[in-house]
């Protein structure tokens, strides 16, 4: 059963008219902080990231110099990418009713700070962070992955 999400209508004043609509499948989180230049590769598109942008599964987040982006995922995981980073959110599913799902993120370049959310508590076997050389399992915690420039 889908949770109901209330989103501002397109033509409405931002908060005045809010209709209840189901969350879109594939939605993974929201951009909450942003500095400098941040882009999202989604399929064949390269989108400019902005505060409040919805991040989706399979998105690749790319930050420029002197840039950073903080994303809150739907299970309350907080992901923060630093400058010159490439982060791909390869898999994300979260059912708020059962609190089960999966998360796989790959740090291809740069630094990522993670504050884990409900998935690492309820489905830790389905949560993985990867770099080109290691795979990380997580049990409810905060950590940083820094991938060197090669």
Q: Which residues bind other proteins (CB under 8 A)?
A: 1, 3-8, 15, 18, 20, 23, 30-33, 35, 51-52, 68-72, 76, 78, 80, 82, 96-98, 111, 113, 115-117, 120, 131, 133-150
Between 36 and 46, CB nearer to other proteins: 36
Report in angstroms how near the CB of residue 94 gets to other proteins at its nearest: 11
Report in angstroms how near the CB of residue 47 gets to other proteins at its nearest: 17
Between 10 and 44, CB nearer to other proteins: 10
Whether the CA torsion 86, 117, 56, 47 is positive or negative: it is negative
- Count of positions (residues) in the chain: 150
Rounded-to-10 torsion of CA 103, 137, 40, 54 = 40
Between 31 and 44, CB nearer to other proteins: 31
Report in angstroms how near the CB of residue 22 gets to other proteins at its nearest: 10
Let me know: does 104 contact 90? Beta carbons within 8 Å: yes
Between 44 and 59, CB nearer to other proteins: 59
Q: How many CB atoms lie within 10 A of CB 6?
A: 8
For the record, the structure tokens of 135 come out as: 């795979």
Q: How many CB atoms lie within 10 A of CB 53?
A: 19
Apex CA 29: angle with CA 33 and CA 126, to 5°? 125
Report in angstroms how near the CB of residue 27 gets to other proteins at its nearest: 10
Between 58 and 145, CB nearer to other proteins: 145
């Amino acid at each position: 059963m889908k949770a109901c999400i209330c989103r501002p209508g397109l033509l409405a004043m931002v908060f005045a008219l809010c209709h209840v609509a189901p969350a879109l499948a594939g939605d993974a989180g929201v951009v909450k902080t942003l500095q400098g230049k941040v882009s999202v590769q989604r399929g064949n598109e390269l989108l400019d990231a902005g505060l409040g942008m919805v991040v989706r599964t399979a998105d690749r987040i790319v930050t420029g110099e002197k840039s950073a982006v903080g994303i809150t995922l739907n299970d309350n995981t907080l992901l923060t990418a630093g400058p010159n980073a490439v982060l791909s959110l390869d898999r994300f599913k979260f059912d708020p009713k059962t609190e089960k799902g999966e998360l796989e993120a790959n740090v291809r370049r740069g630094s990522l700070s993670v504050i884990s959310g409900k998935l690492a508590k309820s489905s830790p076997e389905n949560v993985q962070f990867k770099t080109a050389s290691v795979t990380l399992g997580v049990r409810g915690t905060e950590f940083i992955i820094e991938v060197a420039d090669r």
